Chain A
Amino acid sequence: MKYTTFNQVNNNPLLEPMFFGNPVNVARYDQQKHHIFEKLIEKQISFFWRPEEVDVSKDRVDFQKLSDSEKHIFISNLKYQTLLDSIQGRSPNIAFLPIISIPELETWVETWSFFETIHSRSYTHILRNLFGDPSSIFDDIVENEEIKKRAADISKYYDDLIFATQLWQTLGEGTHTIKGETHVITMRELKKKLYLCMNSVNALEAIRFYVSFACTFAFAERELMEGNSKIIRLIARDENLHLTSTQHVLNLWAKGKDDPEMAEIAEECKEQATQIFLNAVEQEKEWAGFLFQHGSMIGLNKEILCQYVEFIANHRMSAIGLGQPFDIKNNPLPWMNNYLSSDNVQVAPQESEISSYLVGQIDSEVNSDDFGDFDL
């Protein structure tokens, strides 16, 4: 079905499924099929923040004090986070918007992706402070094998759905041969790809960030790199909301509260969904191994971090009906909770040093004495 930017069919959006119904026409929010997405939009907008509002200048001094193995941990984490947000800043828009059929979900996805771009901008803010010219760090993201391995696994479900959608939108259902390759496009196949993609995104938002978060907050526990930690707390708050949204989508499908065919697919592909999650867990553990290859840091090592990934995975998987596959019962990093709570995360001018605000202040503090040497 060809995509149209304004569907002229006078359809009732309250009767549309979340995906693969009519394209959205009027962007209206006075009524919603699934109220949750409207509430998530409001909440996300209320979280609005700007990286420049967080003063990271003290981190530059801290960074020089870190050991080489700690520098490796810190910088590798930032590279991985940059990769994840590069993907998330565009992919939900490109993969989901062309097939979404209700306005509140469409706007949620746009709002969500917009916040991922704030995250990406904050990495530049952090790195520019540490290095002046962060080019070599960014360049390494497309060279580093450890990072590329993850990138391939995350983007493949998106890319698969995007390509199948493009074929469907231009050629319709059927068997299509493109450059010698045969592609069978049916609505059922498209929906399966969507289901797997949503699970992969859910796993990303649910656990992929948490190894990095733990390292960031372990530095902050030692009162190091606190500007960075403040930014990551703001990012973590947003990520929690993103995760909630993908959990809602998956559960609306599985419980038959949206497209009934998606409920069948959820049942049929449960094994694959579980595997996507378990693969993400394995990859995060491997990543912990890579981070600590030159040595641990105070308060954190590979074993504890791997236990934490399992602990988080248990929680996240049970939220979407996939059970608790790992034995771990108690949180191995209880201090993480303090950093993940919304208390004290707010960036308010009076309580945090705002660099852009200070810049303005310096500019305005030019008084008449400064012009003493000028004769007009």
Chain B
Amino acid sequence: MSKNTSSFMVEIKHHKTVQHQPNKTLLESIEQHVEIQYHCREGYCGACRTKLLKGEVEYQTDPLAFIEDDEILPCCCFPISPINIEIS
């Protein structure tokens, strides 16, 4: 959890690169900059499913929605390194 105080760069494919805001989820950090879908914001619906191209994230709540191995749920994860993502 403490790792979430750091602020890594988030490179969004076909969009700009934004900085992750400490203490915010990845979704909260990027949604002002780019259109990204969400419903539940709690990791159980899968609406925010996003491809993680590079880097690592960590979850604070157990994600319940189905995701592929190369996908993440921005609504409940935090980057723990600089990351590259692709929003579908």
Contacts and interface: CB of A to CB of B under 8 A. Distances in A.
Interface of A: 36, 39-40, 43, 237, 240-241, 243-244, 247-248, 251, 315, 318-319, 324, 330-331, 337, 340-343
Nearest to A35: B62
Contact of B45 (A40, A240, A324): A240
Contact of A39 (B39, B49, B64): B64
A40 B64 contact: yes
A342 B41 contact: yes
A240 B48 CA distance: 13
A331 B38 contact: no
A375 to B, nearest CB: 61
Contacts of B62: 39
Given A240-B44, A342-B42, A315 B66 contact: no
Given A244-B65, A340-B40, A341-B38, 19 more contacts: A40-B64, A43-B64, A237-B40, A240-B39, A241-B44, A241-B64, A243-B45, A244-B44, A244-B46, A251-B66, A318-B88, A319-B49, A319-B66, A324-B88, A337-B37, A337-B38, A337-B47, A340-B45, A341-B39
Q: Which 3 A-B pairs have the closest CB atoms?
A: A340-B39, A240-B45, A247-B66
Nearest to A39: B64
B70 interface: no
29 contacts: A39-B64, A40-B64, A43-B44, A240-B40, A240-B45, A241-B44, A241-B64, A243-B45, A244-B45, A244-B46, A244-B64, A244-B65, A247-B46, A247-B66, A251-B66, A315-B37, A315-B47, A319-B49, A319-B66, A324-B88, A330-B35, A331-B37, A337-B37, A337-B39, A337-B47, A340-B40, A340-B45, A340-B47, A341-B41
Interface in B3-60: 35, 37-42, 44-47, 49
Contacts of A343: 41
Q: Which of B38, B64, B66 has the most CB of A within 10 A?
A: B66
Interface of B (DSSP majority class):
loop
Contacts of A330: 35
Interface centre among A40, A247, A324, A342 (most CB of B within 10 A): A342
Nearest to B61: A43
A342 B88 CA distance: 22
A241 B45 CA distance: 6
A39 B42 CA distance: 14
Given A243-B45, A244-B64, A251-B66, A342 B40 contact: yes
Contacts of A319: 46, 49, 66
A311 to B, nearest CB: 9
Contacts of B44: 43, 240-241, 244
Contacts of A43: 44, 64
A331 B40 CA distance: 16
Contacts of A40: 64
B73 to A, nearest CB: 11
Contacts of B66: 244, 247-248, 251, 319
A315 B47 CA distance: 7
Contacts of A244: 44-46, 64-66
A128 to B, nearest CB: 29
A145 to B, nearest CB: 32
A341 B40 contact: yes
Nearest to B39: A340
B47 to A, nearest CB: 7
